[in-house]
């Protein structure tokens, strides 16, 4: 998947993940963590399933990126404490 699509999916995933985790970090931080989570989710799906599930702007890519963003937000909270 291209960089542009990964960033768009990451932005959507960051918003959804921050909403699910009730993160009060601010919109810009949520979006940045979402983009990082998108890259992390794509990398983890490649390792676990031998297929990169980040295949474009679709539901499976958003879900994978959202899981990655949830992991990133959880780590961010641990570091911030």
pLDDT per position as a tens digit, 37-73 = 888 888 888 898 888 787 788 898 889 889 998 999 8
How confident is the model at residue 1, as a pLDDT?
A: 58
| pTM of the predicted protein model | 0.84
Length of the chain (residues): 81
Can you give the residue range of the structural domain that contains 24? Answer: 3-80
Measure the CA–CA gap between 79 and 45, rounded to whole angstroms.
Answer: 24
What pLDDT, in 10s, does the model give residues 5-45? 878 888 888 889 888 988 777 778 888 888 888 888 888 88
Q: Which of 61, 48, 78, 79 is nearest to 8 (CA)?
A: 61
Domain count, the chain: 1
């Amino acid at each position: 998947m291209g960089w542009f699509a990964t960033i768009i999916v990451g932005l959507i995933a960051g918003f959804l993940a921050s909403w699910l985790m009730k993160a009060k970090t601010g919109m810009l931080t949520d979006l940045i963590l979402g983009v990082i989570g998108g890259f992390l989710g794509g990398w983890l799906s490649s390792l676990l399933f031998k297929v990169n599930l980040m295949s474009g702007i679709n539901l499976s890519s958003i879900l994978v990126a959202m899981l990655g963003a949830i992991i990133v937000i959880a780590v961010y909270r641990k570091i911030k404490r």
